Amino acid sequence: MRMRAAVLASLLASGLISGGLAAGPRQMPDGLARNLLLQLGLPDTDDAVQWLLAAAGHEPGAMDGPAQTVRAWPIDRLRSALASVSKLKKSAAYNATLARGAMLHADLSLLTRGDGVPKASGDPGYRSPLFIDGRRIGESGLDMQLEFARNVIDHMKPRAGDPRALQWYRAIAADLASRYWLLDLERHNQDARRLFPHEGGVLFDNACEAETMTSPRLQAAVAATLEIHASGSPRGLATQPQFTARFNLLRAEQLYRNALTAEPSMSEARLRLAHVLWRLDRVKDAARMLETATDSPDPVVRYYSAMIRGRVLQNSGQPEAARLSFEQARTLYPRAQSAELALAVLARDQGNEPSVIAAMGRVAAWTRTDDTDDPWWRYYQCNGRNALQELERLRFLFRTGDPQ
């Protein structure tokens, strides 16, 4: 047993499996690893050793040999390996190696899209599609690979101070949001907030998740479950108040405020908070919030800002200012259906039928439509719209140690 611990410590100390940030990518060639293990007298069939080698050898973003090695391991085996590794927390490369392990298991989730998740008795690793009126709106269940990855980060010492852990949490949150993997997202964000309670980005992700719960598609799912419940069928999520729109709007309000306290310049948090306030029928509060909003370099955020501002102005009895705001949105995204409809409703309210007809004519002229035409369609994905960039930044950080 003592020999085994010594081998693991040697592996960590060797730098060969650290994947250290400063040193750039470190991958241990298979032959070298085996030679080292033979010299140290430990067979490479030891789970802890295999896991360390896989973590060190994994190329972020690739379904490579190291990833394949541990892909099918059941959770009990992974936990056992991690328990062995965690005894070596005083080793210099400990955190770096665990961070690479978290990346490895995140990639197993990301690259397999939740397929082929190993299961063990009593294990929360299951996943099933979530449907509403025939459409798949996301996933229900927890991804065991991500659960384990979070577990790995939990073993880092000190975990909250590690920049890799923060970027890991934010990138994975973006990915989960983009896919509507909601149970995973909730668990993930709770963990992130526990580790980084004052980090603006993490608070923003948590607020977004609460706002997503208020989205029409999620609330449609809740309503459908209510109908099932009313008919005497199984009790479901609708029986729990934390799934109601109002509960989550209030939660989102508080979290966006916390995010802005941590990072006052976060323009998207400000406009989303204004939208939440508007939805809570606090139009004046929403207008005040928008007065302090700053410009964002991101055109999507500027579009959201123009649309939400227009909506608030319209409800504040300022139709002309609202029109200008909606037109600004249309200028940013000339094929945005929502901006055209917003303008058409305004025109109708003003008795301007020709403008309504003109707006409908423009919509009718769009023979082909792309999902990027109207950013509103992805509003409730929040930072999920940036998932690919966030993941690439994460992988780059793990490859090079450079946070870009």
Residues that bind another protein (CB under 8 A): 132-137, 215-217, 220, 223-224, 307, 337-338, 341-342, 344-345, 347-357, 359-360, 363-364, 366, 369, 371, 376-377
Give the 3-state secondary structure of residue 368: coil
- For residue 375, the minimal CB distance to another protein (Å) is 11
- For residue 248, the minimal CB distance to another protein (Å) is 16
Nearest CA to 17 among 8, 329, 133?
A: 8
Tell whether the torsion through CA atoms of 319, 323, 325 and 326 is positive or negative: positive
Question: Which residue's CB is nearer to another protein, number 288 or number 348?
Answer: 348
Angle at 127 between CA 53 and CA 51, to 5 degrees: 10
- For residue 357, the minimal CB distance to another protein (Å) is 5
Give the 3-state secondary structure of residue 127: strand
**Distance separating alpha carbons of residues 271 and 307, to the nearest angstrom:** 10
- For residue 374, the minimal CB distance to another protein (Å) is 8
Question: Which residue's CB is nearer to another protein, number 121 or number 231?
Answer: 231
- Is 73 within 8 Å of 124 (Cβ atoms)? no
List for the chain the helix, strand, coil content (%; round to 5).
Answer: 70, 5, 30
Tell whether the torsion through CA atoms of 161, 182, 373 and 355 is positive or negative: negative
Question: Which residue's CB is nearer to another protein, number 166 or number 342?
Answer: 342
Question: Which residue's CB is nearer to another protein, number 94 or number 278?
Answer: 278
Nearest CA to 172 among 393, 399, 390?
A: 390
Question: Which residue's CB is nearer to another protein, number 194 or number 348?
Answer: 348
Question: Which residue's CB is nearer to another protein, number 83 or number 223?
Answer: 223
Question: Which residue's CB is nearer to another protein, number 24 or number 299?
Answer: 299
- For residue 210, the minimal CB distance to another protein (Å) is 18
Give me the DSSP letters along 337-363: HHHHHHHHHHHHHTT-HHHHHHHHHHH
- For residue 310, the minimal CB distance to another protein (Å) is 11
Nearest CA to 152 among 203, 104, 115, 116?
A: 104
- For residue 188, the minimal CB distance to another protein (Å) is 24
